[in-house]
Amino acid sequence: MRIQSFREFWPYYVGEHRSPACRGLHYVGTSLMLTVVTLALTSGDPRWFLLAPVVGYGPAWIGHFGIEQNRPATFKYPLWSLLADLKMYSLALRGRMAAEVTRLYGSPNPAADAPLRVRP
C-alpha cells in the first residue's frame, strides 16, 4: 500500500531513522549538501551541484545500510524523503528531533527498544 500524504509519510520516515547514529549521519550529509549548494551559488560554478547528491546521500545511505539495515525512503518517495530530511534537520537544529521521535515512538532511541510501535 502506497503512502498518500506527507502527514502519513512523516511517521514512516521517522521510523526509518530510529537510531540517533543514523540521524546523525543524515545531519552530516545535509550539512555537506547545503555547503556544496552554497558553494555552487556563490562561486557561480554549477559543477558544484553535481557533488551535492553524493555528499548528501553518501552519509545517509551509510546510516541506512550499515546502522538501520533498511532501504532509504528516497528510493520509493524521493520528494517526500527530501522534505522530511529537511524537516528532521530543522528539528535537530532546534533541539526538538528527540522529542519528535519520542512523540511518535515512545523513546528518543527506539532502535534500542523493542517492539517498535507507532503511537496514534
Res 119: pLDDT:
44
- When divided into structural domains, the chain yields a total of 1
Whether 66 maps to a domain, the answer reads yes
Whether 100 maps to a domain, the answer reads yes
- The model's pTM: 0.86
Q: Whole domain around residue 35: which residue ranges? A: 7-105
C-alpha cell at 66: 550499515
Whether 115 maps to a domain, the answer reads no
Res 1: pLDDT:
80
Whether 64 maps to a domain, the answer reads yes
Instruction: Compute the average pLDDT of residues 77-90.
Output: 96
Res 84: pLDDT:
97
**Higher-confidence position of 98 and 109:** 98
**Higher-confidence position of 102 and 109:** 102
Whether 35 maps to a domain, the answer reads yes
What is the per-residue burial (b if ≥16 Cβ within 10 Å, else e) of 52-82? beebbbebbbbbbeebbeeebbbeebeebbe
